[in-house]
Amino acid sequence: MSRITQICETFDRCGTDKGSHHGYSSVYAQVPVDIKTIFEVGIASGGSIASWLELFPDAHIYAIDILAAPFSPHPRITTYHQDIMKFDASRLPHFDLVIDDGSHSVGDVLIAWEKLWPLCDGTYIIEDVISPELVPALAKSIEAIQRPGMWRIEVINTGNKNADDRVIRVQC
């Protein structure tokens, strides 16, 4: 089974819409399997967290949701029952993968980005992007902070049928 097929099967089985619905499996197939830390905005019923546990077996998963998370304690999961808009990210570790699957509103995505991108040492994925108007704002933010290193911003349309089958991927 290819990594893309494995990821899509896992997403669909675990109940997140990242697989057959949005077509994001090929995007996540490019993330190294051996990453150690993940942060996701948006837990909902926990389908993506269950997927990350299987797909990235060495990773500790941090996730935040404004609603209560449906999880029993797990040694590789840390959840925050808070609003990312008001969240103090200063005590978080750095992350190999950051995913914004929260409210998807442009303003919220940018506030989350300002808090989380300085902590990202690998790939930052913003899901369900209706309009790529976010890209110039992200680029401006990176320039303003002048963090050393090369950052690449891409808009990836997955070709599925929904208006929001699009991610922005930022890589350092």
Which parts of this chain interact with ligand SAM (CB under 6 A)?
16, 18, 40-44, 47-48, 64-67, 83-85, 101-103, 108
Residue among 103 and 141 whose Cβ is closer to ligand SAM = 103
C-beta of 146: minimal distance to ligand SAM in Å? 28
What is the arrangement of strands in the sheet containing 95-100, beginning at the earlier edge strand?
Answer: 77-81, 60-65, 37-41, 95-100, 120-126, 166-171, 152-157
Strand-strand pairing, 152-157 and 95-100: unpaired
Residue (84 or 120) nearer to ligand SAM, CB: 84
E strands in 17-151 = 37-41, 60-65, 77-81, 95-100, 120-126
Q: Residue 49 and residue 97: Cα distance in Å, rounded?
A: 13
Provide the minimum distance between the beta carbon of 101 and ligand SAM in the complex, in angstroms, as a whole number: 4
Q: Which is nearer to ligand SAM, 151 or 169 (CB)?
A: 169
- Whichever of 17 and 121 has its CB closer to ligand SAM, that residue is 17
Q: What is the DSSP string of 124-156?
A: EEE-S-S-TTHHHHHHHHHHHHT-SS--EEEEE
Could you tell me the smallest distance in angstroms from the CB atom of residue 108 to ligand SAM?
6
| Closest distance of CB 114 from ligand SAM, Å | 13
